[in-house]
Chain A
Amino acid sequence: MTSSGADTNFSNEQMLGFYRDMLRIRRVEEQLGKDSLAGNLPGAVHLYIGQEAVGVGICSQLRDDDWIASNHRGHGHFLAKGGDTRLLVAEVYGRRTGICRGHGGSMHVADFSKGIIGANGIVGAGISITTGAAWAAQLDGNGAVGVAFFGDGAANQGVLCEALNVSTLWKLPVIFVCENNGFSEFSPYSTVTSGSIADRAKPYGAAHETIDGNDLIEVWQCAARAIKRARDGEGPTLIEARTYRHSGHVVGEHTFLSGTYRSEEEVEQKKAGDPIPAFAKRILEAGQASQADLDRIDAEITAEVAEAVAFAEESPYPDPADQGAGYMFA
């Protein structure tokens, strides 16, 4: 049995793989959110919950030598591109065994061996870095592409316009993925953003699409077109994936914000569009797996997360004498 999109058939294994990858992100984020609220994490954590279909729909088609850059909400991209769960969790815990040996933390998880340039604490910064990596890929001529993940807030940084201009001019193999989750930190979209984000590609003559970012198959198909365009030397694509940020901008924000910027009714209503139950329903209705299969995957993922937490908790903190001076300069 296969599931069919407009021009795509996915095997049962592929569909379950997508499900597993989304669920891994969800369970890791739930764990880290809980840990953060409990005061067990040293720094701020920005959760990707609700946006998993975007990261998985795109990264599941990327090669190790394709580049991605991400933002402060970057755990999901890290995992979707093949980053290790244990190394991620240990890093967020600030431990020596973390992917950056505790020097980066939640906002800087990176694994260059897997093409993960990394999360980034500066809103919009990954846009220019990915454009440069895409230039390198073009020079290499190996068909690699660069994908920049950023939010609707970052779309208001001028660098997006600069990057669209130069990447269209140079026909760079780059894909700009705006995950429009409705909020620039604590400000709703309509209060800080005019027009549509995808439209910002128009004056540059760049390809652009607006999609339902909660529909993994739609994301996958759109990304497939953009990746083909990039690998074929036809230049950039700006994808605006409409999704919704279930969590706040940062875990624990209710403890320091003096007011609210969205109603609980809105959040509950938007959560109905959660990509993961919708995808589960799709699998079940297509007869591609049973509820027992999905439950088994959930149990495996839950065990994987528990094992990662245990690994992090057992890991030592970095030695204060090791301030990483050797990391400043090569």
Chain B
Amino acid sequence: MAKKRMIQAINETLDSEMAKDPKIVLFGEDVEISLFGDTVGLKDRHGAHRVRNMPISETVMSGMAVGAAAAGYKVVCHMMFGNFMYTGFDSIANQASKLRYMTAGQISLPIVYMSVFGGGRSAAAQHSDAMHPMFMNLGGIKVALPATPADAAGLLRASIHDPNPVVFLQAAGRGGESGDVPDGEVIFELGKASTVHDGDDITMVAIGAMVRPALRAAKQLAEDGIGVDLIDPRTMVPLDTDAILSSVRRTGRLVVVDEARDLCSAASHVAAVCADQCFEALKAPIKRVTVPDVAIPYSPPLEKALLPNEGSISATVRDLLKKPAGAEA
């Protein structure tokens, strides 16, 4: 066990996987110098033919990943910011997610499309989206959202090994994302949730970067005697619905925290699944803590007011339990 930053965990995982499997290639914009540090040094260790800088050409890049994967390579396609995936969306939405199905399973496409995503950095509207719900709706793409360095290592390794396209969205670059990573080749099965905090009063599902503020809220609520069962699904496709449903059946209440805009958020899907499958266990309405349906603004006070945080998460829980702050536990 060692303390690492998420970026470091990703870098080490890429390094060790590339060292083991010569069929893994990595390409993307500025991967040689590495804007975020996650791919730094990989070219020197694994060769210029396997780690390649791309022109700023997302349309051809996302499609090249499909072609190289179809031709037998395990492709890591680094698209820098998640918003740039919109530019290269055709080959993800129309090709990677459908080619296997359309050809009746003739091929598998082992591709990891990776990028950082989400707000909180004054990067403004075109560098701050949480776009995982769009990928969830495509059908043929797995979606991984690591919240901790250990999860980043374990989910990335599983994503690289997976024979299917995976969108791997790092909640990186927001500071304070260091954490313990087990020694050795940590790997976490895609589709297995992790319980981050135990409690009996309410189930909270937090997605990606929202796990951190959700955990702070859970710890603070625990001091007031409110037990939060905090679940991090870690991947939204596949989604560990069993873990979520069994918790909700026990607590009878559900809050979902998601950095996506509210309309068709991932939180909406989790809420729908629970309303559909364990309605009888619910003691209160399901609540979503999401981002309002506006673009992410630039100025820090504006942006901060929009993103879910410890305060808004706690307030939602207290409201649901009718236990305002300062009241008797």
Contact = CB atoms under 8 A, between A and B. Distances in A.
Nearest to B23: A139
B17 interface: no
A103 B107 CA distance: 14
Most central of A104, A113, A132, A166 by chain B CB within 10 Å:
A132
Interface residues of B, number: 42
Nearest to A69: B67
Contact of A165 (B55, B62, B69): B55
B99 interface: yes
A113 B105 CA distance: 12
A67 B60 contact: no
Contacts of B52: 170
B243 interface: no
B64 interface: yes
B101 interface: yes
Nearest to A141: B49
A101 B61 CA distance: 30
Contacts of B49: 139
Interface of B: 25, 49-50, 52, 54-55, 57, 59-73, 75, 90-91, 94-95, 99-108, 139-140, 142, 163-164
Contacts of A103: 101-104
A33 interface: no
Interface in A108-159: 108, 110-113, 117-118, 120-122, 125, 127-137, 139-140, 146, 158-159
A131 B64 contact: yes
Nearest to A136: B71
B164 A128 contact: no
Contact of A324 (B55, B60, B99, B101): B101
A134 B66 CA distance: 11
Given A122-B90, A136-B72, A329-B164, A104 B104 contact: yes
A181 to B, nearest CB: 23
Contacts of B25: 135, 139
7 A-B pairs with least C-beta separation: A128-B63, A132-B67, A132-B64, A136-B71, A330-B108, A162-B60, A162-B57
Given A129-B95, A328-B139, A329-B164, A100 B70 contact: no
Nearest to A170: B52
B71 A67 contact: yes
Nearest to A131: B64
Contacts of A112: 70, 103, 106-107
Given A103-B102, A158-B59, A330 B163 contact: yes
B62 A128 contact: yes
A164 to B, nearest CB: 9
Contacts of A122: 90, 94-95
